[in-house]
Amino acid sequence: MAILTKHRGAMLILMFNLLLVFSGIGLVIPIMPKFMESLGITGGMVGLLVAAFSLTQFLCSPLAGRLADSFGRKRMIVIGLMVFAISEGLFGLAASPVLLFASRLLGGISAAMIMPAVMAYAADITTPEERAVGMGYITASITTGFIIGPGIGGYIAEFGIRVPFYAAGAAGILAACITLLVLRESLPSKTNEWDTPPDEVERRGLLSQLRYAYREPYFLGLIIVFVMSFGLANFETVFGLFVDQKFGFEPKDIALIITFGSIAGAVVQVTAFSWILKRFGEQRVISLCLLLAGLFILLTLFVHQFWMIFAVTFIVFLAVDILRPAISTQMSMVAEDQQGYVAGLNSAFTSLGNIAGPIAAGFLFDLDIHYPYALACLVLLMCFILSVKGKKISLKDAHASS
């Protein structure tokens, strides 16, 4: 963190907060099947719970971003962390679907409050030259949290399947206290985003972005983002339930697979991702990852031994970890002078896929545990075809312009 010496302490606090929060989110993943089984909850309910989180995050993010500009980054982060702690504790205490949904809705609101404020804070304390490095540190702390969270959760669950939720709530309270006591506000007092001209607000508005997205030259890319997110969310939502019912995996087994896959993905992103994109180009990488993810999800339906399911899911997770930043990179390259606008659309279409995918996966899982993965395979292979067609169209346009 050599170039961020002036605000190193603030950046470390932001990273520590995100590490705690996303470790808290990750540590509950491996015990969800046992927890749902103890409450007698169906796969359809699981899908709705995941979608509820994504829905409130999707709806609240634009307002939360503007509040971070007018109300202050620090306040939004602290309030968001407290809401996160309450949501995790409520989930651990819940004995009825109503409380479970209340917990997930609060969780989505907390994510919507924390992430824009943290990103804005990081932008406040970095120069344009430092911006990419600062955002890289923020992303790394999130990834690290997801890596260590499931592993920790698998072992904490030995003390009880509700204990990981309480641990996540405690992590949120700790992060909120550290932020409140140590972190300084980064937002200049005279800055007020509510004074933004109405036409500019409308341009950045969520409904306005979705309404006019079809007019944009990168609309096909947004469709690919939605279809990809739908298929991947379909796969990830029922992963724990699938391996629990089909293979009898325990929380430790699920934690091992997720943790190892996450570590491998993080290593590839740090060491080889840039080289892969330069060597093969964004479009080829996206198409290949879509193809591999679709085919290996299909293979999941035919393997039976632990090491085989471990290997197959490892390839799926690795393909996903390369695919997501590759698509974001491609969208940013297309955006030119509309970086914020396109990033908002990318996020919106991703959220829509994250809402629809879990719902479909959950109800299909109740019909047959193999159906969600069959659908995920079909959707990702369709997305692969779309990406190939998109490449052909761009090549035709390039030849026409030359």
Domain 1-183 identical in fold to domain 206-396: yes
- Domain boundaries along the sequence of the chain: 1-183, 206-396
Which of 369, 373, 275 has the alpha carbon at shortest distance from 322?
A: 275
Please answer whether residues 28 and 161 qualify as being in contact, where contact means their C-beta atoms are separated by less than 8 angstroms. no
Query: What gap in Å lies between CA 323 and CA 230, rounded to an integer?
Result: 14
Q: How far lies 381's CA from each of 42, 292, 297, 376, in Å?
A: 28, 9, 11, 9
Which of 298, 259, 271, 273 has the alpha carbon at shortest distance from 380?
A: 298
Fold of 206-396: Growth Hormone; Chain: A; (1.20.1250)
- Tokens representing residue 243 in the block: 């391996």
HEC assignment per residue over the chain: CHHHCCCHHHHHHHHHHHHHHHHHHHHCCCCHHHHHHHHCCCHHHHHHHHHHHHHHHHHHHHHHHHHHHHCCHHHHHHHHHHHHHHHHHHHHHCCCHHHHHHHHHHHHHHHHHHHHHHHHHHHHCCCCCCHHHHHHHHHHHHHHHHHHHHHHHHHHHHHCCCHHHHHHHHHHHHHHHHHHHHCCCCCCCCCCHHHCCHHHHHHHCHHHHHHCHHHCCCHHHHHHHHHHHHHHHHHHHCHHHHHHHHHCCCHHHHHHHHHHHHHHHHHHHHHCHHHHHHHHCHHHHHHHHHHHHHHHHHHCCCCCCHHHHHHHHHHHHHHHHHHHHHHHHHHHHHHCCCHHHHHHHHHHHHHHHHHHHHHHHHHHHHHCCCHHHHHHHHHHHHHHHHHHHHHHHHHHHHHHHC
Query: What gap in Å lies between CA 65 and CA 73, rounded to an integer?
Result: 9
Which of 18, 163, 150 has the alpha carbon at shortest distance from 81?
A: 18
Distance from chain centroid for Cα 104? 15
Fold of 1-183: Growth Hormone; Chain: A; (1.20.1250)
Predicted local distance difference test score (pLDDT) of residue 248: 84
pLDDT 10s digit of each residue in the chain, 402 long?
Answer: 444 555 677 888 888 888 887 777 777 667 777 777 778 888 888 888 888 888 888 888 777 777 877 788 889 999 999 999 999 999 889 888 888 899 989 988 888 888 778 877 877 777 766 665 666 677 667 767 766 777 787 778 888 888 888 988 998 898 899 889 988 887 665 444 444 444 444 444 556 666 666 666 667 777 878 888 888 788 877 888 888 888 888 777 877 887 777 777 777 766 777 788 778 887 888 899 999 999 999 999 898 888 888 888 888 888 887 887 777 667 666 655 555 456 556 667 777 888 888 899 889 999 999 999 999 999 999 889 888 876 655 544 444 444
Integer Rg of the chain from CA = 21
Predicted local distance difference test score (pLDDT) of residue 324: 74
Number of other residues whose CB lies within 10 A of the CB of residue 4 = 19
- Tokens representing residue 125 in the block: 């304390």
Please answer whether residues 10 and 125 qualify as being in contact, where contact means their C-beta atoms are separated by less than 8 angstroms. yes
**Model confidence pTM above 0.85:** no
